[in-house]
Structure 1
Amino acid sequence: MNNWKLNLIVLWFGNFLVMAGMTMIIPFLPLYIQQLGITDPGKVAFWSGIVFAGNFVTSFIFQPIWGKLADRHGRKVMLLRSGFGMALVMVLMGFAGNVWHLFLLRMLNGTISGFVPAAVALMSTTTPREKIGFSMGTLQSGGTAGSILGPFIGGLLAEWVGFRPIFYITGTLLFFASMLAMIVVKEKFDASKAAKLPNVSVVAGLKELGKIPQLTSLFTVTFLIQFSMLSSMPLIPLFVQHLHGEGQMLAFFAGLVGSITGFSNMIASPLLGRLGDRIGQEKVLGLSLIGAAVMFIPQALVQNVWQLFAARFMLGMFMGGLLPSVNALIRKYTPDGMESRSYSFNSSFLALGNMIGPVVGGALSGLITIRGIFLIATVMLIANAVWVRKTLIRRSPVAGQGS
């Protein structure tokens, strides 16, 4: 088997386990916080949000630093640093004595994270150019599958073994995934060549990459995608409750609607990635943005849960062409030797969208309801598609970059 294919298989499972581990705590996080001594319902809700967001805050800050080091010392080294580091921190979360311990460990986890962008950067530099879209789409499906199944697995394990053992199990799985990557994943990295490159700071690197208009556009597109998608996500269970009422199986329907987008995304990502290899990633990105924008409109008009289910399934199909296309295009426009840094900056913009989207959506929901937020997402994604057409589709590729 070609090295890039073997890398893709191993890193697919690595992405799956990392994202599953990150989302596995969602179903029982408030209950675990109660177990740590916080009993007031208001304080439990407050700490649940703070603890969950802590990971994204430090991730946003530190991703570019790890990206710079990856370009100088190799992507595989950063991959293993993150994998083994998160395995240890995850186990320590199971020993948390109070909520402050858990909060600080979540922030530490975000600080040392970076497995996914390192995996993307490694695959982008080892995959043949004509297969890059398929590679990025398949890799994305691994992370998406982990995000979908993580809460489900976490909920089941919480019933079977309790809260603390889940952290031990997750840490152990991350350790073995990192060991597998260390043994199997191959990277052709010329350390002597990388050492000769100018040792520019993180800020200087951002300024240098910012001079490439296509990359600036892609970073912003990533932020707007996540902002648009996440602005309504925390409100979906309440919307399902509004549509379904307080009857039986409410939790089941809320989980079903929440996960179906991820399932269709997982299916579509490799297919749209392969299509992008044939017709161009810029076109797939533009069409996916328009399709996702259109699919938010019926969500604002639905009258029952099954209509919402169908609309969100179709939304996931178009979402499958968004981030994989962005990742393939970043490789296309990034100068050689700066791939990891470029992907890390993009990961920071993604984390920023993950942080700000739910906050703004929650704040606006009291004024315009979730139906209005769906329509705002439509407008933002259409504007995004227009920008992609102007900055990417109409521009010719930069010669000599991303070879």
Structure 2
Amino acid sequence: MLIWKRNLFVCWIGVFIAAIGMSEVAPILPLYIHYLGVQNTSLVSQLSGIIFGITYLITAIFSPIWGYAADKVGRKPMILRAGIGLSIIYLLMGFVPNVYFLIALSVLQGAFTGYSTACNTLIATQTGREHVGYALATLSTAGVAGSLLGPTLSGLIEAVLGLQAVFFIISGLLLIAFIISLLFVQESFVRNDKKSQGLREIWHSVPQKELTIVILITFFVLGIGLYSIEPIMTPYVSQLSPNTSHIALISGLVFSATGLSNIISAPRLGKLSDKIGAHKVIMISLIVSGILYIPQAFVQNPWQLLVLRFLLGFAMGGLIPSISIMIKNITPDYLTGRIFGFNMSLGYLGVAAGSVLGGQIAGRFSFQYVFYITSALMFLNAVWVYFRVYKKWDKAVLSESFGKE
């Protein structure tokens, strides 16, 4: 097997497991907090929000830090650090005596993440230009697939083995990911012995500053677009469905539809990016996504919404890989980890902003306005990308290619 294919396979498994770990805790968190002795229902909800939110906030802070470390000491060491660190943290979560220890470990969980950033950087720098689009697109499906499977898996484990077993099993899976990464990931890393740089010096080293800003903010907007709908999904489905006995199941199907089609389309759109250019794929994806949000405001039943969400996933499948490919194409290898780290931070902040924005818009206006405003964001982003990236892309990539030579 070619080295890049082996690295991709191992990284896919690791990112998949890490995504399961992040997503499987959320559904059982209120139950586990109650299990740890918190009886007040309102307090359980508050603590669940704090624990879930703090993990993503700390992750956003630490992603650039681990990206910097990846550029300095190598990407494989960062994969191994995240793998063994998260494995130990999840194991300890299964033994916590009270909710305060759980909060502390959630902070550590956010601090030790970086698995996805390290894997993206490894694949981007160790894969040839002719295959990098397909490789990064395929890797992006791991996070989506893990996020889809996580909640279902945690429910099954909890029902059969109990709450603590959820943490023990994900710890064991991460340990397996650590071992196969240690044995099979291969990296040709040349250490950069330049003096450590601050943020200002790093920014001065970025060759395509304007393009980089637009790409990073596009990833932030994507996070908003994906998660602005999440807080309103269940009540919106309840409003659409006359049958209230299966609301949770129907809402889960509607939410999962986007992820499922994303998994199908991402590798194909990644290959298309290798052929026609990521800047073209991202333009098409933004426009089609903006169009598909609008009819979701006019559906008459949950199954119409499910079909539209499924179609949206096909369009969204071109966004994350294209952003990764574009970063790789205009960023020198010695800066790739740091830029990917900043990109992941903005993605997590977009998730948080989208969740808050969707809930606030629905509360102040109506569910339909969430779709209108999200669609408008996609269209505005497409216009910005067209004038600031699309029209300048070929010249920028050519310039950077000569710079690398």
Instruction: Give TM-score scaled by structure 2 length.
Output: 0.96
Aligned-pair CA distance for 1:164: 0.8
Counterpart of 1:95 in structure 2 is: 95
2: distance between equivalents of 1:21 and 1:333? 32
CA contact 2:70–2:78 (8 Å) conserved in 1:
yes
User: For residues 189-231 of structure 1, what are the alpha-carbon distances to aligned partners after superposition, in whole Å with 9 as ceiling and x for unaligned?
Assistant: 012xx11x23202453245438611111111000011012211
Equivalent residue, structure 2, for 1:7: 7
Residue 48 (structure 1) shift: 1.1
Q: 1:53 to 1:203 in 2, by over 3 A?
A: farther
Native 8 Å contact 1:64 1:341 kept in 2: yes
What do the CA deviations read for 1:292-341 (whole angstroms, capped 9, x no partner)?
A: 11111111111101000001000111110001100000001112311101
Equivalent residue, structure 2, for 1:259: 256
More divergent stretch after superposition (216-225 vs 393-402): 393-402
Distance 1:219 1:338, change over 3 A: same
Q: 1:304 aligns with which of 301, 305, 314?
A: 301
Partner of 1:189: 189
- Separation of aligned partners in 2, 1:390 and 1:375: 23
Q: Which residue is 1:361 aligned to? A: 358
The Cα RMSD (Å) is 1.4
CA distance in 1 between partners of 2:209 and 2:200 (Å): 15
Deviation at 1:50, TM superposition (A): 0.9
Aligned to 2:121: 121
SS of the equivalent of 1:130 reads coil
Look up the match of 1:218: 215
**After superposition, where does 1:49-198 map in structure 2 within 5 Å?**
49-191=49-191, 194-195=192-193, 197-198=194-195
CA distance in 2, matches of 1:371, 1:354: 20
Q: TM-score, normalised by structure 1?
A: 0.96
Amino acid at match of 2:146: G
Q: Which residue of 1 aligns with 2:370?
A: 373
Consecutive unaligned residues in structure 2, runs of 5 or more: none
Give the CA deviation at 1:247.
2.9
393-402 or 100-109, which deviates more: 393-402
The answer to whether the 8 Å contact 1:55/1:109 transfers is yes
> Following the alignment from structure 1 to structure 2, what is the Cα–Cα distance between the partners of residues 246 and 46?
30
Are the aligned partners of 2:207 and 2:331 in contact in 1 as well (CA < 8 Å)? no
How many percent identity over aligned positions?
A: 37
Which residue is 1:338 aligned to? Answer: 335
Contact 1:210 1:216 in 2 (8 A): no
Within 2, Cα distance between the matches of 1:67 and 1:268?
28
CA gap 1:210/1:27 in 2 versus in 1, 3 angstroms: farther
Cα separation, 1, equivalents of 2:354 and 2:226? 8
C-alpha distance after superposition, 1:101-152 (max 9, x if no partner): 1122111111111000100000001111011110111000111110111111
Matches within 5 A, 1:41-56: 41-56=41-56
Match of 1:30 in 2: 30
Provide the C-alpha distance between the structure 2 equivalents of 1:137 and 1:98, rounded to a whole number of angstroms: 41
How far apart, CA to CA, are the structure 2 residues paired with 1:104 and 1:209? 36
Contact 1:138–1:270 (8 Å) recurs in 2:
yes
Matching residue of 1:249: 246
SS in 2 for 1:27: helix
Q: Secondary structure at the match of 1:24?
A: helix
Displacement of 1:60: 1.0
Give the distance between the partners of 1:259 and 1:330, measured in 2 at CA.
28
In the alignment, the residues of structure 2 paired with residue 346 and residue 203 of structure 1 have an alpha-carbon distance, to the nearest angstrom, of: 17
Residue of structure 2 equivalent to 1:39: 39
Is the contact between residue 209 and residue 342 of structure 1 (CA under 8 Å) also seen in structure 2? Answer: no
> Residue 228 of structure 2 corresponds to which residue in structure 1?
231
Letter in 2 for 1:75: R
Q: Which residue of 2 aligns with 1:397?
A: 396
Does the residue aligned with 1:39 lie in a helix, a strand or coil? coil
Number of residue equivalences: 400
In the alignment, residue 397 of structure 1 is paired with which amino acid?
A: A
**CA shift in 2, pair 1:211/1:133, >3 Å:** closer
Task: Give me the whole-angstrom Cα distance separating, in 2, the residues matched to 1:310 and 1:213.
Answer: 37
CA contact (8 A) 1:232 1:358 kept: yes
- Is the alpha carbon distance of 1:82 and 1:206 closer, same or farther for their aligned partners in structure 2, counting shifts above 3 Å? farther
**How far off its partner does 1:6 sit?**
0.7
User: Aligned pair in 2 of structure 1 residues 39, 245: CA closer, same or farther (>3 Å)?
Assistant: farther
What is the rounded CA distance, in whole Å, between the counterparts of 1:242 and 1:10 in structure 2? Answer: 43
Distance 1:200 1:71 in 2: 12
Q: CA offsets per residue over residues 34-68 of structure 1, 9 Å max, x none? A: 11222222212111111111111111111111111
Q: Distance in 2 between matches of 1:148 and 1:366?
A: 27
